[in-house]
Structure 1
Amino acid sequence: MKRPVIIAVAGGSASGKTTVVEKIIQGFDRQNVTVIKHDDYYKDQSDMPMEERIKVNYDHPFSLDNDLMFKHLLKLIRGEQIIKPTYDFENHNRSDQTESIVPTEIIILEGILIMEDNRIRELCDIKLFVEADDDLRFIRRLTRDMAERGRSMESVIKQYLNTVKPMHFAFVKPTKRYADVIIPNDKDHDVAVDLIITKIKSIISEQSVV
């Protein structure tokens, strides 16, 4: 099997990364694309009580098991299957459920800090940073976390002010300098996505020739 084309999609919380990923996927046969969310690699915290898990800074790079993710990516590149963890946002811990992932032609890595780790970054063929207005991102996050992650308005606001916002400027936004393309998600980004799809197809085509 040819080496998968690996795309990193980074950006602030609720910047619209998933929307961009979905638009990229539409340019290909879906069965040839695998999306791996960095969130699923939050460290296992089964040894911690809930009151301690809530206090963890989930927007700091130390909260993520990048060693495991890097190991898994190397296996996928070698054409091997992996058993990927999944994350339970309501319980602030890894879920008991895992996912079996087999290598596909295209692998998309999505997460706010996906370009922070140099080892993971260097495995990527294309690196994208999705940017959106800070106020818009907060509104999206508030709506999402209350509707999909069982969070209260008070807890979302507290987490945003205490960790999400400061960590965005300390760790997330600085990774923008590693991006090949910066996509403004509060505007029409179809042209950027079309160019990215063309580039991915070009890489695949070049691999086929070799």
Structure 2
Amino acid sequence: MDDIIVVGIAGGTGSGKTTITQTIREHFGNEVSVIYHDNYYKAHHDLSYEERSRLNYDHPNAFDTDLMVKDLTKLKNGEPIECPVYDYTIHDRSNTTMTIHPSSIIIVEGILIFYDKRIRDLCDIKLFVDADADVRILRRIKRDVKERGRSLDSVIDQYLTTVKPMHEAFVEPTKKFADIIIPEGGQNKVAMEMVINRLQAHLNR
């Protein structure tokens, strides 16, 4: 539908993507729908918790991007979707889904959403959130330990073995596809004002 605008928000773990998403949601309220790439992690019900905890969740193959492309296309066409729900505490997709209805502004958020050309082509505005690596790892530790029930050692081990190398191999190179690169994430007031003004102009058409 012509009255729907899709905003892609990419960037490394802990870069500030969610802060930007929340700022846009708070400003526009019900005009915004959000889908997270993380909810499209592939299901691994056949593996044990220990096996699932050792999987590489920062590689493009970890995601069911085909399903996300289908769902995002539906939303852009004005159709509701049943979005999968990922449970970080068990490293697996849950058995529930959540209904997401299309809105005037659809935000797609994830570390690797610009890796797949199909998602890039569905985005009308592509934002890449940039932050120093030391800031990102500290934010990730704080989030994963407090909110996702992880141990400090497991977060550090995962960061060094998969998160950091995958960021360098797959996430950082997608910066070139962005329309706007936002240093310091949601703390960048000038960039946020520009993005909000652009979205407000779309709603005012």
The answer on whether the counterparts of 1:128 and 1:180 sit within 8 Å (CA) in structure 2 is yes
Cα displacement (A) at 1:102: 1.1
Q: How does 1:35-50 map to 2 (within 5 A)?
A: 35-50=34-49
TM-score by length of 1: 0.93
1:64 corresponds to which residue?
Answer: 63
Work out whether 1:22 is the aligned partner of 2:37.
Answer: no
Partner of 1:119: 118
TM-score by length of 2: 0.95
Question: What are the Cα deviations for residues 116-140 of structure 1, in whole angstroms up to 9, with x where unaligned?
Answer: 1100110101000111110111111
Counterpart contact for 1:2–1:105, Cα < 8 Å? no
Partner of 2:141: 142
Residues of 1 paired with 2:52 and 2:33: CA distance?
29
Q: Which residue of 2 aligns with 1:132?
A: 131
Matches within 5 A, 1:130-209: 130-185=129-184, 188-206=187-205
Which stretches in structure 2 are left out of the alignment for 5+ residues?
none
Match of 1:7 in 2: 7
Q: Is the 8 A contact 2:35 2:107 kept in 1?
A: yes
Question: Shift of residue 4 of structure 1?
Answer: 1.6
Q: Which amino acid aligns with 1:76?
A: L
Distance 1:187 1:55, change over 3 A: closer
Deviations 1:21-68 (A, max 9, x none): 12222332x111011111000001111122221121000000000000
**1:124-181 deviations in whole A, cap 9, x for unaligned?**
0100011111011111111110000010011001100000000000000111101111
CA distance change for structure 1 residues 68 and 200 in 2, over 3 Å: closer, same or farther? same
Instruction: Give the length in aligned residue pairs.
Output: 205
Aligned letter for 1:140?
R
User: What is the CA deviation profile of residues 62-97 of structure 1, one whole-angstrom value per residue up to 9, with x for unaligned ones?
Assistant: 000000000001111221111000100011100122
In the alignment, what sits opposite 2:104?
Answer: 105
Identity of aligned residues (%): 52
Identify the residue that residue 92 of structure 1 maps to in structure 2: 91
5+ long unaligned stretches in structure 1: none
> What amino acid is the match of 1:20?
I
- Bigger drift between 17-26 and 110-119 goes to 17-26
